[in-house]
């Protein structure tokens, strides 16, 4: 039985999954403790009405989860040969990473935990490093086709 899963694991930054789990634990710990236990840096929450924070947080979370889901679906469930340049990949080169970054940001917006920005920046740096690594591998694999794709499609900010 043939699998729908793409075998591009060699294109991933070594230990990327482990690093993502470690950073998830770090972010979750800092965010939870600051947001719900100690409130070291959540003073902005008292200045912004809860309804506005909830609407903004849910909007950012929904955008993040949508980008991640669309990217994941195209990458792993569709049987598309070659370089993916359609769907969400026609608008941004790393929709799943951007989606994860936005999901974390949505948590920060919801509680206004400024301390959580520190692990969020570390996570953002990790995803940038992962994206750079993968782009080198994709350029090796697809050559000029990938270079042309990078000229047309932005890395992080969708068009």
Q: What is the pLDDT of residue 4?
A: 45
Q: What is the pLDDT of residue 2?
A: 41
Report the number of distinct structural domains present in the chain: 1
For 103-156, what is each residue's pLDDT tens digit? 999 999 999 999 999 999 999 999 999 999 999 999 999 999 999 999 999 999
Look at residue 15 and tell me if it is in a domain.
no
For 40-58, what is each residue's pLDDT tens digit? 999 999 999 999 999 999 9
The Cα–Cα gap between 61 and 72 comes to: 16
**Domain span at 141:** 47-109+121-152
Look at residue 28 and tell me if it is in a domain.
no
Look at residue 31 and tell me if it is in a domain.
no
Look at residue 81 and tell me if it is in a domain.
yes
Place of tokens 């999901």: 103
Closest alpha carbon to 117 in 30, 58, 17 = 30
Look at residue 93 and tell me if it is in a domain.
yes
Look at residue 38 and tell me if it is in a domain.
no
Q: What is the pLDDT of residue 27?
A: 99
Residue 127 burial by Cβ neighbours in a 10 Å radius (0-12, 13-18, 19+): buried
Mean pLDDT of the chain: 93
Q: What is the pLDDT of residue 81?
A: 81
What is the distance of C-alpha 73 from the center of its chain?
15
Look at residue 133 and tell me if it is in a domain.
yes
Look at residue 157 and tell me if it is in a domain.
no
**Structure pTM?**
0.91
What one-character DSSP code corresponds to residue 35?
Answer: I
């Amino acid at each position: 039985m043939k699998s729908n899963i793409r075998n591009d694991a060699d294109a991933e930054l070594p230990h990327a999954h482990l690093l993502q789990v470690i950073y998830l634990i770090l972010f979750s710990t800092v965010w939870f403790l600051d947001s719900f236990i100690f409130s070291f840096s959540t003073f902005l929450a008292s200045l912004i009405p809860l309804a506005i924070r909830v609407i903004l947080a849910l909007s950012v979370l929904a955008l993040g989860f949508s980008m991640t889901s669309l990217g994941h679906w195209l990458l792993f469930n569709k049987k598309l040969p070659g370089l993916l340049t359609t769907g969400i990949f026609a608008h941004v080169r790393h929709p799943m990473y951007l989606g994860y970054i936005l999901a974390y940001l949505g948590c920060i917006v919801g509680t206004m935990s400024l301390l959580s920005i520190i692990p969020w920046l570390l996570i953002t740096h990790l995803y940038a490093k992962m994206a750079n690594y993968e782009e080198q591998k994709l350029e090796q694999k697809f050559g000029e086709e990938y270079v042309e794709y990078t000229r047309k499609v932005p890395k992080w900010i969708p068009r």
